[in-house]
Structure 1
């Protein structure tokens, strides 16, 4: 296996491992938003159908190379080449090695944040703070109804699309690719659904509310073990641009 190169050279910000997630706990809330808002942020050639967004908070019980941490973000339902999946729009973490690895070794749109997931008086609560300000609050009835484990696995194993963007020193892109990945080796240890609510608050540096909540469609609470598959490029924006310039 080739050695993975990362910055700094003699003390990489993240471990050269393929992480295995143990006891990864999800709070997922799927909601309807404005179609025009999605068109403004979803890159071509991805296609939008019903304007659905999945807000997620994930508490990582244990991750090889990173340890426990919490993550939150938004995933948009999209279609590529006839296949339905999700486009990862935004991700906020409280763990720097996982943030650096996701951005550099992968294509995940990760940045810093303070997410949390906990139980409060019969409600599962997911929150996201940016700095000192709250930008998202999600609540779901705690373990009201059990879910089919196979349905739970299908929710989180759809194809995932991301933008791999690497600028050059002059600010122009050196890498601009649409890539595809997916979750593999999933074991669902618990899965529940129930009533849910979601509030998003305006923040210029954490613009989750630019995809406003119009209707909550569904919610789920999952506990899983899983692995992230390596990303595969499916569309190269720079190659297409060069072909058009000829």
Structure 2
């Protein structure tokens, strides 16, 4: 331990970075179709829309081999790159800083701190996401259909980018990453679901209209991840998307408010 790591410590840390395991997971999801013109607008190049404008809203909790126990939520948009279908991570929220830093620095996930809750009573499920005094997401499911166990593979697309040190533009071109998750589903069930999305200046989830709900689902699962860089995007091209994935720093000006004279 210490500010300068020894070779054996580096090897141990890199093993946790190379082979992340998110286990004993419980995930409530609601899939819905949205406006295809919205999908075309929010997907950064070189991602392309999938065959259907599907969005998945998720709330869950996990244990891990790298970031401890955590709760989280996310919005995934169906997308394609180089012929491979996956999900673009439009927004993601964690309940503490450790999984936030890990996923943001390693995969490029647009993680922010927020509170999420997941409850179950029999085949009825309910979850919600709160941030900045706004209930951004509410999920509900009546899920009587038992699906059993399975082994599946999923792909998430993210972008690694950072602002220039002088605050103007990006420091370098953005990097598109592809994270592949081998998912061992212990148990799953599905049925009817509902989703409510709300927004704020920092988290405009309500920009995604819910055209029709496809289904609700719940699974208990282990996720084994691996990630790689697959493309770069010119800094000036990605800049509007980069700022859209973060809070609006200009909206957090408390200095000007403090200077307003009191009548």
How high is the TM-score relative to the length of structure 2?
A: 0.78
Q: Which residue of 2 aligns with 1:159?
A: 155
- The structure-2 alpha-carbon separation of the partners of 1:74 and 1:239, relative to structure 1 and needing over 3 Å to count, comes to closer
| Contact 1:29/1:55 (<8 A) preserved | yes
Which secondary structure does the structure 2 equivalent of 1:50 belong to?
coil
Q: Which residue of 1 aligns with 2:47?
A: 46
| Contact 2:156/2:180 (<8 A) preserved | yes
| Contact 1:118/1:124 (<8 A) preserved | yes
Please state how far the C-alpha of 1:78 moved relative to its aligned partner. Answer: 0.9
Please state how far the C-alpha of 1:211 moved relative to its aligned partner. Answer: 0.9
Correspondent of 1:213 among 210, 215, 230? 210
| Contact 2:60/2:72 (<8 A) preserved | yes
Q: Distance in 2 between matches of 1:46 and 1:175?
A: 16
Q: Distance in 1 between matches of 2:149 and 2:56?
A: 19
- The structure-2 alpha-carbon separation of the partners of 1:223 and 1:41, relative to structure 1 and needing over 3 Å to count, comes to same
Structure 1 unaligned segments of length 5 or more: list them: 1-7, 242-246
| Contact 2:159/2:174 (<8 A) preserved | yes
**Structure in which a larger fraction of residues adopt helix:** 2
Structure 2 unaligned segments of length 5 or more: list them: 6-11, 238-263
Could you report, residue by residue, the CA deviation over 1:67-105 in whole angstroms, capped at 9, with x for unpaired residues?
Answer: 221110111111112221111111011011110111112
Q: Distance in 1 between matches of 2:52 and 2:212?
A: 12
Q: Distance in 1 between matches of 2:236 and 2:137?
A: 38
| Contact 1:32/1:213 (<8 A) preserved | yes
| Contact 1:28/1:55 (<8 A) preserved | yes
Q: Which residue of 2 aligns with 1:149?
A: 149
Q: Distance in 2 between matches of 1:176 and 1:134?
A: 31
- The structure-2 alpha-carbon separation of the partners of 1:121 and 1:145, relative to structure 1 and needing over 3 Å to count, comes to closer
| Contact 2:56/2:75 (<8 A) preserved | yes
- Name the count of aligned residue pairs: 223
Q: Distance in 1 between matches of 2:148 and 2:66?
A: 31
- The structure-2 alpha-carbon separation of the partners of 1:240 and 1:138, relative to structure 1 and needing over 3 Å to count, comes to closer
Q: Which residue of 2 aligns with 1:105?
A: 106
Q: Which residue of 1 aligns with 2:32?
A: 31
Which secondary structure does the structure 2 equivalent of 1:167 belong to?
coil
How high is the TM-score relative to the length of structure 1?
A: 0.83
Root mean square deviation of aligned Cα: 2.3
Runs of 4+ in 1 over 6 A off after TM superposition: none
Q: Distance in 1 between matches of 2:57 and 2:4?
A: 37
Q: Which residue of 1 aligns with 2:186?
A: 189
* Pair member with larger Rg: 2
